[in-house]
């Protein structure tokens, strides 16, 4: 029975997508739920899987083609028998295991042909595989274990790898296409600067109270919450949620000639991936515990690295937090994530001499930056909002007590 394979239904904010990979070709056998095609949109890469066992009868949208929401991209024949590669012979003797004709070397790893084929089909990073065969050779069984455990998964590439080997005296250039996601990021950042009256106010926070609290309870926290680690981001998210309650203008957005005040606190946390910067949303952060925040961020980060974040994960949001400190940034000016009217920038924790009760002490300090849209937020409110976050972090008990 012939079935139409369609592009996913895109949300209103996504106009179309681009086909970036056909995992299967016409006539090739496909199992139910096996990946057929990957479609890149402005925000994420979407996967379309096989509805049943069968074969692709016809591909109607080639690689790099633009597709619309719910558009037919291929014809699938359910129950049909397709071609498959002949299964590689199993290693049954020591002589076969040591034969040069039956091994493939990738970097410092030696694999059987069957193992190499299976690793490629499942997108595994060969360098992460552990070999249990003779001389450390990676066998088919080793790859099967890695597939089942989810280990050795390769990180999805954002674009063709850029490697420029320049000999002495040469002047070399290499041109590669900008990914759809990178184009969209560039477009929206420019639009944010052109349409908003963006200003940035700065402050600094003494991180010693949070660091001492984290040090005291991190082991107990991890044990109680099934391995979830207590990081710094959860404190910032909860402090921001409390500050947003007190300053509703910072939690609002501008829609044409209207101001939209949000009665909920959905905070986006910027996550860097191989494909670019994405901002998954933490919903109703005012009701989340520190453990909820940490576990959700961890799950988002994992799915972001694997390219598994969905459009729904990044839709909406009333405020954003970005952390350049993980890359060593001491101070920066974050750009607004439209249509939001404010974004908080965290930075590197650095020890500096500070005056404390008339004495000079070395304290772990962090610069904070709040970029805001002056059309919506007055400077006084922006400064007081940032001071509120500073005060909550320097006395973290206030976060839990909401005082």
Q: Tokens 């954003």 correspond to what residue?
A: 320
Instruction: List, as one string, the DSSP characters of 69-90.
Output: TT-EEEEEEET---B-PPPPPP
One digit per residue, the tens of pLDDT, for the chain of length 403 reads: 788 998 888 876 677 888 888 888 888 888 888 888 888 887 677 888 888 888 898 899 888 888 888 899 999 988 777 665 444 444 433 333 333 344 556 656 777 666 776 776 666 777 778 777 766 777 777 777 777 666 665 544 444 455 666 667 777 787 877 777 777 778 777 888 888 899 999 999 999 999 999 999 999 999 999 899 999 999 999 999 999 999 999 999 998 889 999 999 999 998 877 767 788 999 999 999 999 999 999 898 888 877 788 878 888 899 999 999 888 999 999 999 888 999 999 999 999 999 999 999 999 999 999 999 999 999 999 999 999 999 999 999 888 776 6
Dig out the tokens for 402 from the structure: 């909401």
Tokens 């694999």 belong to 111
Give the closest residue to 265 by CA, choosing from 317, 338, 313. 317
Count of alpha carbons within 13 Å of 161, Cβ hemisphere only? Answer: 5
CA atoms of 284 and 287, how far apart (whole Å): 6
Q: Is 204 helix (H, G, I), strand (E, B) or coil?
A: strand
For CA atoms 228, 229, 230, 235, the dihedral sign is negative
Q: What is the pTM for the complete model shown? A: 0.64
Please choose, from the candidates 373, 30, 338, the residue with its C-alpha nearest in 3D space to the C-alpha of residue 197.
373
Neighbours of 197 (CB within 10 A): 10
Alpha helices for 6-85 (secondary structure H): none
Contacts of 366 (CB under 8 A, 6+ apart): 204, 205, 207, 325, 346, 347, 348, 349, 350
Q: At what angle do helices 233-246 and 379-394 cross, to 10 degrees?
A: 140
Q: Please tell me which residue in 33, 70, 374, 395 is annotated as part of the active site.
A: 374
Q: What are phi and psi of 106, to 5 degrees?
A: -125, 110
Backbone angles phi, psi at 351, to 5 degrees: -75, 130
**Angle separating helix axes 140-149 and 113-121, nearest 10 degrees:** 20
Residue 300: closest CA among 332, 324, 277, 328:
277
Strand order in the sheet with 16-22: 45-49, 35-40, 16-22, 66-68
User: Which candidate in 70, 120, 219, 378 is catalytic?
Assistant: 378
What pLDDT is attached to residue 355?
A: 93
Whether a cis peptide bond, with omega within 30° of 0, leads into 339 is yes
Question: Cβ distance 321 to 250 under 8 Å?
Answer: no
Both tokens of 60, joined, read: 């109607």
DSSP 61: S
Predicted confidence at residue 150, as pLDDT, reads 62
Which of 243, 193, 213 is closest to 344 using CA atoms?
243
- Of 168, 83, 91, the closest CA to residue 131 belongs to 91
User: Is residue 378 flagged as an active site residue?
Assistant: yes
């Amino acid at each position: 029975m012939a079935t139409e394979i369609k592009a996913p239904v895109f949300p209103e904010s996504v106009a179309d997508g681009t086909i970036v990979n056909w995992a299967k070709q016409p006539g090739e056998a496909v199992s139910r739920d096996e990946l057929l095609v990957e479609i890149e949109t402005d925000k994420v890469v979407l996967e379309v899987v096989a509805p049943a066992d069968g074969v692709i009868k016809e591909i109607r949208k080639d690689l790099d083609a633009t597709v619309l929401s719910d558009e037919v991209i291929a014809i699938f024949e359910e129950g049909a028998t397709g071609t498959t590669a002949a299964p590689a012979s199993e290693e049954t003797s020591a002589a076969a295991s040591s034969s040069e004709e039956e091994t493939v070397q990738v970097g410092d790893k030696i694999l059987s042909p069957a193992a190499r084929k299976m690793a490629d089909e499942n997108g595994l990073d060969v360098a992460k595989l552990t070999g249990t065969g003779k001389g450390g050779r990676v066998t088919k069984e080793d790859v099967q274990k890695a597939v089942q455990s989810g280990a050795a998964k390769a990180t999805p590439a954002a674009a063709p790898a850029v490697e420029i080997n320049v000999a002495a005296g040469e002047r070399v250039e290499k041109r590669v296409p900008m990914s759809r996601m990178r184009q969209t990021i560039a477009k929206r950042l420019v639009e944010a600067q052109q349409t908003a009256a963006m200003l940035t106010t700065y402050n600094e926070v003494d991180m010693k109270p949070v660091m001492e609290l984290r040090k005291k309870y991190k082991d107990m926290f991890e044990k109680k919450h099934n391995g979830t680690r207590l990081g710094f981001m959860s404190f910032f998210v909860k402090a921001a949620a409390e500050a947003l309650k007190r300053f509703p203008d910072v939690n609002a957005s501008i829609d044409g000639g209207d101001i939209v005040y949000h009665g909920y606190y959905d905070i986006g946390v910027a996550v860097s991936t191989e494909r670019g910067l994405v901002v998954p949303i933490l919903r109703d952060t005012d009701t989340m515990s520190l453990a909820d925040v940490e576990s959700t961020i961890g799950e988002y980060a994992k799915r972001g690295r694997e390219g598994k974040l969905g459009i729904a994960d990044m839709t909406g949001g009333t405020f954003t937090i970005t952390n350049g400190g993980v890359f060593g940034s001491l101070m920066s000016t974050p750009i607004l994530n439209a249509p939001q009217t404010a974004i908080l920038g965290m930075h590197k924790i650095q020890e500096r001499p500070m005056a404390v009760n008339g004495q000079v002490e070395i304290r772990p300090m962090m610069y904070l930056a709040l970029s805001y849209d002056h059309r919506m937020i007055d400077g006084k409110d922006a400064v007081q909002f940032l001071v509120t976050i500073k005060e909550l972090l320097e006395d973290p008990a206030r976060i839990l007590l909401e005082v």
